[in-house]
């Protein structure tokens, strides 16, 4: 790769791929007189279920509420424990706390940054009810092991699939294996496809539908099991619920995004491979692990970790220096157990943290950064990022040498 000069324009780490089709369909929806939950939302859900090969897909306002609703559907609450990864977006864990259950964190594998399945079993107690693996950055967890442990101990598996819409595990779409009760996708703008905000719950057992639909919309129930037909203006409220319904304007975006998703994924993979080969001789960074024949990597994020002793820079200094090179980065994420609430929480619930700590999650949270990766990028953009990284690190090392010589 030839070295390239500083970029003239800023390259964001992520950018949604909104085309004229999405814009026209949103405009048409806005003009139609029906803009909230309606026929387009229903079409989107059918298309999602068909794409993912699952019997039921329920679309909703975001993945965060979806995750919380799945824990509710399993009756998880005070006195229960939920095993999950120590490296995730805060909502995976906050939802467990909000339900009054205790999150039990397991450290991550140093190469994939996914939950270390080999450390799950030692964290199971009589209070454990579920395992929530997170497919970080688009790389599926070692699900065979997770399912096997869950089956042996009678635990539910809920996949946080926020990063893996459009990705496969063992040849099947994430969410399509019935050994997981639920999988929850996110359609936030920096995910593999977007509905502006949005999410969906994939599931196999139709008995969960009434609870989840009720939770999505005020606990309202019509149709089967109620005195009111589906089309009735009257309804029953068998439980209190939330307001997290999906809108037709979101579906207008989502229907086109879904049709383009395979193309987006192919492009993400090409760009990620280019980064991997261009950075293969750059030991100052820890590169992300690639997928394999079982775990297809969807590359929602391309996450590298700084080795401060090798670059002579902290992660924050590296991020700032890249910004001066017009290269944007993201931080996904700071280590969860270092936030003020969780420092207090785990003092009160020491069982939530492993006795030997979370060394890999701690290193990861302090040193990672997501490099620009979105399907609209060109090969030149990847080369610009790599050149900027090399320049910034070379300058830092030169400064260190001068300081040492002085
Ligand atoms: C791992 C993970 N889980 C859940 C979520 C929540 O998704 P949403 O923003 O759709 O609520 C995110 C969002 O970034 C995420 O990264």
Full-prediction pTM beyond 0.75?
A: yes
Distance between Cα 164 and ligand 1 center (Å) = 11
Nearest CA to ligand 1 atom 16: 89
Distance between Cα 64 and ligand 1 center (Å) = 6
Atom of ligand 1 nearest to the CA of 134: 1
Q: How many CA atoms lie within 13 A of 322 on its CB side?
A: 25
Q: Write the CA distances from 283 to 147, 280, 368, 373, integer angstroms.
A: 35, 8, 14, 21
Instruction: For helices 63-73 and 209-216, give the axis angle rounded to 10 degrees.
Output: 140
Query: Is 62 close to ligand 1, i.e. is its CB under 6 Å away?
Result: yes
Summary count for the chain: helices (H), strands (E): 12, 12
Residue segments in the chain with a per-residue pLDDT below the cut of 70? none
Distance between Cα 66 and ligand 1 center (Å) = 10
* The pLDDT of residue 14: 98
Distance between Cα 232 and ligand 1 center (Å) = 35
**269 token code pair:** 């993979």
**95 token code pair:** 């939802």
How many other CB atoms are there within 10 angstroms of residue 103's CB atom?
Answer: 26
Distance of CA 21 to the CA centre of its chain: 26
Distance of CA 102 to the CA centre of its chain: 21
Query: Is 88 close to ligand 1, i.e. is its CB under 6 Å away?
Result: yes
Query: Is 199 close to ligand 1, i.e. is its CB under 6 Å away?
Result: yes
Pick the CATH number of 262-405 from 3.40.462.20, 3.30.420.40, 3.90.1150.10, 3.20.20.70: 3.90.1150.10
Distance between Cα 83 and ligand 1 center (Å) = 18
H helices of 228-339, in order, are: 248-278, 308-311, 315-324
Q: CATH class for domain 20-256? A: alpha beta
Which of 91, 164, 242 to probe ligand 1 with, by most ligand atoms within 8 A of CB?
91
* The pLDDT of residue 32: 97
* The pLDDT of residue 402: 78
Stretch (H or E) spanning 145: helix 143-153
Domain boundaries, the chain: 20-256, 262-405
Stretch (H or E) spanning 389: helix 379-405
**388 token code pair:** 């900027």
Which DSSP string do the residues of 118-143 spell out, in sequence order? GGTGGG--TTEEEEE-B-GGGPPP-H
Beta strand 128-132 pairing with 81-85: parallel
How many other CB atoms are there within 10 angstroms of residue 119's CB atom?
Answer: 16
Reply yes or no on whether 191 is catalytic.
Answer: yes
Which of 186, 196, 303, 365 to probe ligand 1 with, by most ligand atoms within 8 A of CB?
186
* The pLDDT of residue 394: 96
Atom of ligand 1 nearest to the CA of 186: 10
Whether the upstream peptide bond of residue 333 has omega within 30° of 0, thus cis, is: yes
Place of tokens 């439980």: 239
Cα dihedral 289→329→104→169 (10° resolution):
-40
Which of 64, 187, 189, 216 to probe ligand 1 with, by most ligand atoms within 8 A of CB?
64
Rounded Cα gap, residues 350 and 104, in angstroms: 9
**Cβ atoms of 84 and 96 closer than 8 Å:** yes
Nearest CA to ligand 1 atom 8: 63
Nearest CA to ligand 1 atom 3: 162
* The pLDDT of residue 405: 81
* The pLDDT of residue 112: 98
Rounded Cα gap, residues 349 and 343, in angstroms: 10
Rounded Cα gap, residues 21 and 257, in angstroms: 9
Return the ∠ at Cα 313 (arms to 308 and 317), rounded to 5°.
130
Query: Is 361 close to ligand 1, i.e. is its CB under 6 Å away?
Result: no
Stretch (H or E) spanning 105: strand 102-106
Say yes or no: do domains 20-256 and 262-405 share a fold: no
């Amino acid at each position: 790769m030839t070295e390239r000069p500083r970029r003239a324009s800023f390259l964001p780490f992520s950018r949604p791929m909104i085309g004229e089709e999405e814009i026209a369909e949103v405009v048409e929806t806005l003009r139609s007189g029906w803009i909230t939950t309606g026929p387009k939302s229903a079409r989107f859900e059918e298309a999602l279920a068909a794409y993912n090969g699952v019997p039921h897909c329920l679309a909703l306002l975001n993945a965060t509420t979806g995750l919380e609703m799945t824990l509710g559907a399993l009756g998880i609450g005070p006195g229960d424990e939920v095993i999950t990864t120590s490296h995730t977006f805060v909502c995976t864990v906050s939802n467990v706390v909000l339900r009054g259950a205790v999150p039990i964190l397991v450290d991550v594998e140093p190469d994939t940054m996914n939950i270390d399945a080999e450390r799950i079993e030692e964290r199971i107690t009589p209070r454990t009810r579920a395992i929530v693996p997170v497919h970080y950055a688009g790389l599926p967890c070692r699900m065979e092991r997770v399912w096997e442990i869950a089956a042996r101990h009678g635990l539910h598996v809920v996949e946080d699939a926020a990063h893996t819409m459009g990705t496969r595990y063992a040849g099947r779409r994430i969410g399509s294996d019935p050994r997981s009760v639920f999988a929850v996708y996110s359609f936030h703008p920096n995910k593999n496809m977007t509905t502006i905000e949005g999410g969906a719950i994939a599931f196999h057992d139709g008995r969960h539908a009434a609870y989840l639909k009720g939770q999505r919309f005020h606990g309202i129930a019509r149709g089967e099991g109620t005195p009111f037909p589906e089309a009735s203006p009257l309804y029953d409220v068998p439980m209190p619920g939330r307001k997290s319904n999906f809108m037709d304007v979101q579906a207008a975006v989502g229907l086109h995004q879904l049709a383009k998703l395979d193309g987006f994924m192919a492009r993400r993979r090409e760009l990620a491979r280019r980064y991997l080969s261009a950075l293969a001789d750059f030991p100052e960074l820890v590169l992300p692990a690639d997928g394999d024949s079982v775990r297809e990597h969807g590359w929602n994020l391309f996450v590298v970790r700084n080795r401060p002793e090798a670059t002579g820079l902290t992660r924050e200094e590296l991020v700032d220096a890249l910004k001066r090179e017009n290269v944007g980065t993201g931080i996904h994420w700071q280590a969860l157990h270092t936030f003020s609430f969780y420092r207090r929480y785990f003092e009160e619930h020491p069982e939530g943290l492993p006795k030997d700590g979370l060394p890999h999650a701690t290193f990861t949270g302090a040193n990672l950064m997501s490099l620009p990766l979105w399907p609209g990028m060109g090969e030149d953009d990847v080369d610009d990022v790599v050149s900027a990284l090399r320049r910034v690190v070379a300058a830092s090392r030169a400064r260190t040498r001068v300081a040492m010589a002085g």
